[in-house]
Structure 1
Amino acid sequence: MTSKVHLACDGAGRPLGFLLTGGNRNDCTQAEAVIDRIRVAGPGPGRPRTRPDRIVADKGYSARAFRSYLRRRGIKATIPERTDQLAGRRRRRERPCGFDRASYRRRNVVERCFHRLKQWRGIATRYDKRPDRYLAAITLASTLIWLDT
């Protein structure tokens, strides 16, 4: 009945990878799949780039499994920890995760990317009932955002 768009964008607010799931899916469980969908072609020949330099996300993505996934791929993370995670780290006498406040201030770029996508009425109101057609509309709008900038 409902759906959720999981999205990764670059620093300019252009969509890089996205995934459509049911509305009851947690963001953190789909983050790896969204990052795996990122493909950015370079100016010349060769393979497209698939690994971002840094991930900036909110507290919903602060799961230990996601942080270890980012560490394995060599991606820097700017994700604040939830208070229960901080308390657990203090209890286990572990070191807290690094957090860069200056780069975290740029997290609103994702929200602006969603607002640019929702300028399309069909995406904002979900006229298409079939998921494949809705995903096609998101793909078209994302392509036009890339062409516009």
Structure 2
Amino acid sequence: MICDGRGTPLKVITTAANVNDVTQTLALVDGIPTVAGRPGRPQGRPESLLGDKGYDCNAHRDALRNRRILPVISRKGSPNIKGIGKLRYVVEQTFALVHQFKRLVLRWERRTELHDAFVSLACSLICFRRLK
């Protein structure tokens, strides 16, 4: 899941249980929809991407820089970036909002399409509540 700074989910991808999250980083970034609102060209990509040490990969860092996105990711084996825990808490809070829907805490559906539909519905309700 990728979300904005307020915790509004922007893109969700369902993978198998044994797949590392770092493999889906670029797919999530590329799947962010354009955001219109202010006059001018709509913004389609974020300015920076925050991630924990699990997303530390030089190839992905270079790919993000090529997309003009600043990667703010702690390196493995080094101390954490000061204050990144407070910023990463927003993503964990968004997961907690999705898990308020009891059907999504455990995956009951065998078909991925059904599970993705319920996740999309949950994200839509979260966005609706934020707008309300």
Instruction: State yes or no: 1:52 paired with 2:46.
Output: yes
- Segments of 5+ residues of structure 2 without an aligned counterpart are none
SS at match of 1:16: strand
Following the alignment from structure 1 to structure 2, what is the Cα–Cα distance between the partners of residues 38 and 48? Answer: 12
- Segments of 5+ residues of structure 1 without an aligned counterpart are 1-6, 87-98
1:8-28: CA deviations, max 9, x gaps? 001111101111111111111
Q: 2:72 is matched with which residue?
A: 78
Change (3 A) 1:47 1:126: farther
Aligned equivalent of 2:56, options 58, 62, 68: 62
1:107-145: CA deviations, max 9, x gaps? 111110000000001111222221100000000100110
Instruction: State yes or no: 1:29 paired with 2:23.
Output: yes
Bigger strand share: 1
**Larger RCO, structure (CA 8 Å, separation 6 or more):** 2
TM-score (ref. length: structure 2): 0.88
Larger Rg: 1
Q: Output the aligned Cα RMSD.
A: 1.9
Aligned equivalent of 2:99, options 99, 118, 125: 118
TM-score (ref. length: structure 1): 0.79
- State percent identity of aligned pairs: 35
Q: 2:89 is matched with which residue?
A: 108
SS at match of 2:13: strand
> CA contact under 8 A between 2:34 and 2:45: conserved in structure 1?
no
SS at match of 1:77: strand
Residue 40 of structure 1, CA deviation:
3.5
- Count of aligned positions: 129
Change (3 A) 1:20 1:46: farther
Following the alignment from structure 1 to structure 2, what is the Cα–Cα distance between the partners of residues 112 and 54? Answer: 19
